[in-house]
Amino acid sequence: MNWPYVNEAGKLFEEHCDVLVVGGGLSGCFAAIAAAEKGKKVILLEKGGISRCGSAGTGFDHWEMACTNPGCKVSPLEMTLALEEEQDYYSNAIGHYIEAKDGWDCLQDIERWGGKIRDTEDEFKGAAFRDEKTKLLYAYDYESRYTLRVFGTTFRPAIIQQMKKLGVRIFERTEATTLLTNNNTASGVLGFDTRSARITIFHAKSLVLCMSRPARIWLFNGDIPGLSEFRPFQSIGTGHAMGYKAGMEFTMMEKSIRGEFSAYGRSFPPYGTGNNHNTWYAATMVDSRGVEIPYVDRDGNILKTVEERYLPAKGQKFFLKGGVIDEPKYEWRGPETLPFDKLMDMGYKLPFYADLSSMPEMERKAIWGLMVGEEAKTRIPVYDNYNKRGFDPSKHLLQSYGTGWQSAAFLEQERQLFGAPGGMMHDWNLETSIKNVFAAGDSLYASDCAGFACTSGRWAGKHAAVSADKDYEAVDMDYVESEKERLLKPLNNEDGLDWRELNLAISKAMQNYCGGIKCDDTLKQGIDLITSFKKEQLPLLKAENPHELVRIHEVSDILEVSEMILQASLARKCDSAPLSFKRSDCDPSKQKEENAYLVISKKDDQIKTYYKPHRFYGDIEEGYRSHEVK
Amino acid sequence: MMKDFTYHKVSSSTVSIHFDEDKCIGCNRCVEACQIDVLMPGDKTPKVIWPGECWYCGACVMECPIEGAISFRHPLMNQARFISKEELNK
């Protein structure tokens, strides 16, 4: 069939701006708005359509660590220190402190722009999680009130309207392919139009990279590739790949965890099965006989009421619960159902179910309707779809699968960059090791969730604006020409390989050579194999149109990131539990010196690694104070 | 001069959305909302060209101005089971 869009392959265009934001998810939008508010000329590039793009384009249900909200009883510093210790100091304390300090400001911004952050219609009047004066709705720990339930489906239209109002120029369907630098300083980005194939040099004085994190590394299915990962299909870590190629420093890239979400086989649609975690906390769970599975406090005492599931233990100031925190240490452990093995010993029968019907009405409505409904990928895929299938939360029980609550059954080698994985190394300005290149959201190491994305985006956008008071850096036109050739070449490979074959080969290679247990020999074999894919197979890929070209550019980026993961894994010689990193040839003598951030970068094909101590960011409050842009 | 672009439907074992030709007004808002670009504008309704690349976010249905013009379903293997309380106690 004939392509319905204009064909501009081979054409080169140029655009100029002060601040270029790459990626139109939450962090990118907040960065663009913050820079535009400072009076800068801002361009934002988005690979998809702007209306509902990003991981939270269709919504999000809870905003964590909003420690300055009027009801919160935990200070930003207390929260940041708790996370630091909980994550064994592989925690992004810079990002988390900014999140804890600025989250409430961002929420109020969203409200001013037209988003809904309160129960303005009094739907939850009288509920234990509602503050009657402010109409704010809290989640998880109803006592300390640091996490808010929000109406995230309303956010995106409001945010986009605000960007347009401020004159941000939005280039949709534009894939950023290449980071352009001059003397290790940002000069711009190459953009590829995903419909016309036009290539544009976006000249910028400073950049904010907001392209989330790599995916489709270990998990890939050629038949239904869109279900391979948790995040949007085309969100595969291009920011990481372009940064790595340009010499940027990354950290914690050796961290990966056993898969949790990949709905092509071993798990179900996110939030769509019976469970009592995250969005579904604290659903009542029953076994196949209808016997309720008890919740216990951190000391193992059985909780008798639903209300107690939302309260800290006696003498405990607050508990940690939500996105990235799964099984916190004793100090911050909240109420939880008994461990699975114990339940089996006690004679509970599979399968288990989530039973919202026996919960108080307000709690039921908060889970089914507010959380499931407002959370990403739930409004249509879970809430509407299940309702249409006849699901009634006051009558029905929703099944849980597998042997745990996640309704997933992954193998050790089926891994994901999940649970606060690695990313771009940065300083207090959220500036990367490349001058005037800032980053936000899940591009940053050990990041997670919507509140983190918005607050880090805003912070990075302000700093990018300050740094844009300078001249443009020169662009190396020879490099642009070579990139142009690389990006379009697959159009000439008529009998070449399908991109899916190479993505499948990468995922199998990574499962084989960089799986749950690593060692020098397999990692080196993995590097050889990935290098051979890059040299021998990548040039063979074929495309008939710009859509397929984008898929090929992505596979190229996945190869780049896979190499970085293998190299980082090779550099770390000793096991590390906090990094879920295990070796068969572990060298315990390295344990002490390696208890730090492994920083990796590449220059002229030479890999450079070094260790940066935990808490390299110094005093947290002082760091924030001295780097805050008013 | 570059050659002309062509495309064809890339088949997949599952398709997430279906259009009701009688209801769809052909406004293509779904085409613009899809961040993966799995849809192409069509004669009567948009066409799902890359069904396998869908990540099942439902943005197309959210942005559709006509109730019921697009129906969404999960692959059969991902249709989680639910039962009534009475059934459980039988």
What's the CA angle centered on A146, arms A141 and A147, to 5 degrees?
75
**Partner-chain contact B82 A396, CB within 8 Å:** yes
* ipTM score assigned to the predicted complex: 0.97
pLDDT of residue A425 exceeding 80: yes
Query: Cβ(A73)–Cβ(A144) under 8 Å?
Result: yes
Answer whether A149's CB lies under 8 Å from A448's CB. no
Predicted confidence (pLDDT) at residue A109 exceeds the cutoff of 60: yes
Residues of A within 8 A of B82 (CB-CB) are: 353, 386, 391, 396-399
Q: Mind listing the pLDDT tens digit for each residue in A127-165?
A: 999 999 999 999 999 999 999 999 999 999 999 999 999
DSSP H/E element including A93: helix A93-113
Return phi, psi of residue A493, to 5°.
-95, 80
pLDDT recorded at residue A261: 87
Q: Do A232 and B41 touch (CB under 8 A)?
A: no
Task: Report the percentage of chain A scoring pLDDT > 90.
Answer: 95
Share above pLDDT 70 across residues of chain A, in percent, rounded to a whole number: 99
Give the Cα separation of A61 and A121 in Å (integer).
17
Q: Answer positive or negative: Cα dihedral of A507, A510, A511, A512.
A: positive
Tally of CA atoms within 13 A in the half-sphere of A124 that contains its CB: 29
Mean pLDDT for B61-66 is 97
Distance of alpha carbon A339 from alpha carbon A330, whole angstroms: 15
- The answer to whether residues B15 and B76 touch, using CB atoms and an 8 Å cutoff, is no
The structural domains of chain B, ordered by start, are 17-89 (3.30.70.20)
Instruction: Determine the average pLDDT of the residues in A32-46.
Output: 98
A377: nearest CB among B37, B57, B85: B57
> Quick one: closest CA in A to B60, which residue?
A52
pLDDT computed for residue B30 by the predictor: 98
Quick: pLDDT tens for A226-251.
999 999 999 999 999 999 999 999 99
**pLDDT single digits (tens) A463-486:** 999 999 999 999 999 999 999 999
Share of chain B above pLDDT 90, in %: 89
Shortest distance between the Cα of B71 and any Cα of chain A, in A, equals 9
Q: CB of B67 within 8 A of CB of A388?
A: no
* pLDDT score for A497: 96
Chain B hits for A491, Cβ within 8 Å: 2-3
Q: What is the pLDDT of residue A616?
A: 98
**A369-399 exposure pattern, b = at least 16 Cβ within 10 A, e = fewer:** ebbbbbbbbbbbbbbbbbeeeebebeebbbb
CA A14 – CA A200 distance, rounded (Å): 5
Mutate to test the interface with A, among B82, B83, B85, B86 (most CBs of A within 10 A): B82
| Contact residues on chain A for B83, CB-CB shorter than 8 A | 353, 396-397, 399
Q: Is A223 at the interface with chain B, CB within 8 A? A: yes
Instruction: Please report where in the chains the tokens 């869109």 appear, as a residue.
Output: A226
Pairs of CB atoms within 8 A across A/B: 174
Q: pLDDT tens digits for A272-302? A: 999 999 999 999 999 999 999 999 999 999 9
Residue A169 pLDDT > 90: yes
- Cross-chain Cβ contact B36/A48 below 8 Å: yes
The mean per-residue pLDDT over the stretch A106-116 comes to 98
pLDDT-derived band at A406 (thresholds 50, 70, 90) equals low
Distances (CA, A) of A325 to A68, A87, A249, A321, A333: 21, 9, 26, 6, 10
Task: Look at residue A326 in the predicted model and tell me its pLDDT.
Answer: 76
Contact list, B74 vs chain A (CB under 8 Å): 269, 272, 381, 385
Q: How much is the pLDDT for A408?
A: 81
Using a 10 angstrom Cβ sphere, with 0-12 exposed, 13-18 middle and 19 or more buried, the burial of residue A477 is exposed
- Per-residue pLDDT tens digits for A490-549: 999 988 999 999 999 999 999 999 999 999 999 999 999 999 999 999 999 999 999 999
CA-closest candidate to residue A452, choices A30, A6, A163, A8 = A30
Specify whether the CB–CB gap between A29 and A163 falls below 8 A: yes
Question: Under an 8 A CB cutoff, do B34 and A379 touch?
Answer: no
The number of CA neighbours under 13 Å toward the Cβ of A503 is: 25
Domains of chain A from N-terminus onward? 18-258+416-475 (3.50.50.60), 278-399 (no CATH)
In whole angstroms, give the CA distance from residue A406 to residue A396.
Answer: 19
For residue range A333-380, list pLDDT tens digits in order. Answer: 999 999 999 999 999 999 999 999 999 999 999 999 999 999 999 999
CA distance A452 to A65: 9
Q: Is the pLDDT of residue A324 over 90?
A: no
pLDDT at residue number A405: 63
* Among the ranges given (A94-98, A183-187, A322-326, B38-42), the one the predictor scored with the smallest mean pLDDT: A322-326
| pLDDT score of A113 more than 80 | yes
Task: Flag if B79 and A389 touch (Cβ within 8 Å).
Answer: yes
Tell me which chain B residues have a C-beta less than 8 angstroms from the C-beta of A48.
34-37
Confidence check: pLDDT of B1 > 60: no
Residue A1 is nearest to which of B8, B75, B78, comparing CB atoms? B8
Q: Which of residues 5-24 of B touch A (CB under 8 A)?
A: 5-8, 12-14
